[in-house]
Amino acid sequence: MHRSCTLSRVRKLGVLAAGGVALLGSVGCSDVLSSSDTTRLEVPEGEALAGVAEATQAQSDARGGLSPSERAIVERFREGREIFRFETFGDQAFWGGQLGLHRAIAGAENGGIGAGVSPATALALGLKVDSEALPRSLQKQLRRGQVDLDDPATTLALLKLNAVVGLTGFFDDQGQIESLGIQCALCHSNVDDSFAPGIGRRLDGWPSRDLDVGTIISVAPDLSVFTGLLGASDADVRSVLTSWGPGKFDAFMHLDGKTARPDGKPAAVLIPPLFGLQGVGLMTWNGFSGLNAWVPLVINLEMFGQGIFSDRRLANAAQFPIAAANGFSRIRSTPDLVTPKLAPLLTYVESIETPPAPEGSFDADAAERGEVLFTGKARCSNCHVPPLYTLPGFNSVPATAIGIDSFQADRSPNLGYRPPPLRGVFTRQKGGFFHDGRFASVNDVVAHFNAQFDLQLAPEEASDLAEFVKSL
């Protein structure tokens, strides 16, 4: 009697568990748990959970393949991808309305000012073109050399097609450009060059190491916003912007007023990747904050979107004098064009997978030996814990721990450096390594830590370790 009752109980629990309910004390045969002669049911390992999983999958299939939560995630992912690639958050009021950047791009012959920015110049500045946004007829013309890439009018035509990665042009009824906005993709997307150098399919999350952000901003006719914040001349601001160089950006210049390092070199840092971020605690080279706090800061204070934002740490006048003086710790715009888009945007960003290292970009045999060193003699995994390859949790370490100056660390409220996630290192070969590119190669980084921690790695061991890092 007790054995059959137990089997009945298991069947009922399986049905209830599949429906998401656990009623362990009210399924009948109340004497079973207390009876001394109850025969214990032995279920082969994995079968019970498999049965529940199969029942859950069957219910999911009956609803069309995805549960409501799964469908919501897919929808947010797709919406977030569109936001990442095309949403300006109203920032055209700044880049076009205040700076007049669109006028410099158009050129005098197209209703703007100056010579304008041709496609050839735009590509030289690191801007990219989405080949999938180009009509087939235009693709054929480009291949035949029938498109004038030295004419700013062609740049405007590409903007009308939404083909310039990270930029959106706003045009009036007569086709005249009247403003310009930027998107997340400007600094955090690349293309695969499948059509031509700088023209190809989008690679979201890749750092834009060709993009000369500072020089692009410097051509805007009105930089009074920055001259006013920094208390500097127009010429000095343009000089600072052009000093950044390709692949670099200074997110803190208009927050703390620092435009150069103590050694006189630019304060700008390399643009980081935005892939493989699930489980990663802090963002930015100096671990300013987590992703959910950093993205709203970037949209409101770096892209100059029109939203609501709060970070009271920016009210610290000792560390962020400009931000404190201008109320950047608390932003409120009406209407709020940012907050409603954060959830899907963050869903997408956190979903971007790390691209695998290309075949031939590392020595596989050496990488296998290097992996043993990474978690052993070299002690790399103390700060770069697999599979995140950064520290889980609050991933910030003091400058003294890694043997460099604290200038960039001191620009963060956390006063430290984030051990960067190492996966996908091949996407950021340009511009060097560490936050400011001070090391030209992965091998140079290994040499630095070999000396810093007295690891006593032999030359062949150091080489193997570098190959493993390249393989991630």
Report CA-CA distances (Å) from 84 to 102, 290, 295, 350, 422: 21, 18, 11, 12, 23
Regarding whether 382 and 458 lie in a shared domain, the answer is yes
Regarding whether 133 and 35 lie in a shared domain, the answer is no
Q: Is residue 202 part of a domain?
A: yes
pLDDT tops 90 at residue 306: yes
- What's the full length of the chain, in residues? 472
Q: Is residue 8 part of a domain?
A: yes
Regarding whether 15 and 117 lie in a shared domain, the answer is no
Question: 211, 232, 260 — which closes off a domain?
Answer: 211
CA dist., res. 142 & res. 395, Å (int): 47
- Taking residues 338-353, what's their average pLDDT? 98
Report CA-CA distances (Å) from 114 to 102, 105, 218, 233, 302: 11, 9, 13, 21, 26
Residue pLDDT, tens place only, 136-189: 999 999 999 999 999 999 999 999 999 999 999 999 999 999 999 999 999 999
Regarding whether 259 and 201 lie in a shared domain, the answer is no
Residue pLDDT, tens place only, 351-402: 999 999 999 999 999 999 999 999 999 999 999 999 999 999 999 999 999 9
Regarding whether 201 and 135 lie in a shared domain, the answer is yes
Regarding whether 34 and 110 lie in a shared domain, the answer is no
CA dist., res. 326 & res. 342, Å (int): 24
Total domain count for the chain? 4
- Radius of gyration of the CA atoms of the chain, in A: 27
Regarding whether 9 and 43 lie in a shared domain, the answer is yes
In Å, the largest CA–CA distance within the chain is: 96
Q: Is residue 121 part of a domain?
A: yes
Q: Is residue 338 part of a domain?
A: no
Question: What pTM, to 2 d.p., does this model score?
Answer: 0.85
Q: Is residue 288 part of a domain?
A: no
Q: Is residue 14 part of a domain?
A: yes
Half-sphere exposure of 97 (CA within 13 A, CB side): 8
Task: Give the pLDDT confidence score for residue 59 in this predicted structure.
Answer: 58
Q: Is residue 464 part of a domain?
A: yes
Residue pLDDT, tens place only, 178-234: 999 999 999 999 999 999 999 999 999 999 999 999 999 999 999 999 999 999 999
Residue pLDDT, tens place only, 51-90: 555 555 555 555 568 899 999 999 999 999 999 999 999 9
CA dist., res. 229 & res. 252, Å (int): 12
Regarding whether 260 and 203 lie in a shared domain, the answer is no
Residue pLDDT, tens place only, 421-459: 999 999 999 999 999 999 999 999 999 999 999 999 999
Task: Give the pLDDT confidence score for residue 41 in this predicted structure.
Answer: 42
Half-sphere exposure of 85 (CA within 13 A, CB side): 21
Full domain range(s) for residue 189: 96-211
Report the Cα 274 to chain-centroid distance in Å.
2
Closest CA to 129 of 176, 189, 84: 189
Task: Give the pLDDT confidence score for residue 53 in this predicted structure.
Answer: 53
Task: Compute the mean pLDDT over every residue in the chain, rounded to the nearest whole number.
Answer: 90
Regarding whether 205 and 105 lie in a shared domain, the answer is yes
pLDDT tops 80 at residue 252: yes
Closest CA to 416 of 431, 402, 432, 437: 402
Residue predicted with more confidence, 467 or 36: 467
Task: Give the pLDDT confidence score for residue 65 in this predicted structure.
Answer: 83
Regarding whether 203 and 106 lie in a shared domain, the answer is yes
Regarding whether 123 and 18 lie in a shared domain, the answer is no
Q: Is residue 317 part of a domain?
A: no
Residue pLDDT, tens place only, 84-139: 999 999 999 999 999 999 999 999 999 999 999 999 999 999 999 999 999 999 99
Q: 173 near 140, Cβ under 8 Å?
A: no
Residue pLDDT, tens place only, 261-279: 999 999 999 999 999 999 9
CA dist., res. 70 & res. 57, Å (int): 12
Query: What are the tokens at 450?
Result: 């070999």
pLDDT tops 50 at residue 19: no
For a pLDDT cut of 70, what percent of the chain falls above it?
86
Regarding whether 224 and 202 lie in a shared domain, the answer is no
Question: 234, 251, 270 — which closes off a domain?
Answer: 270
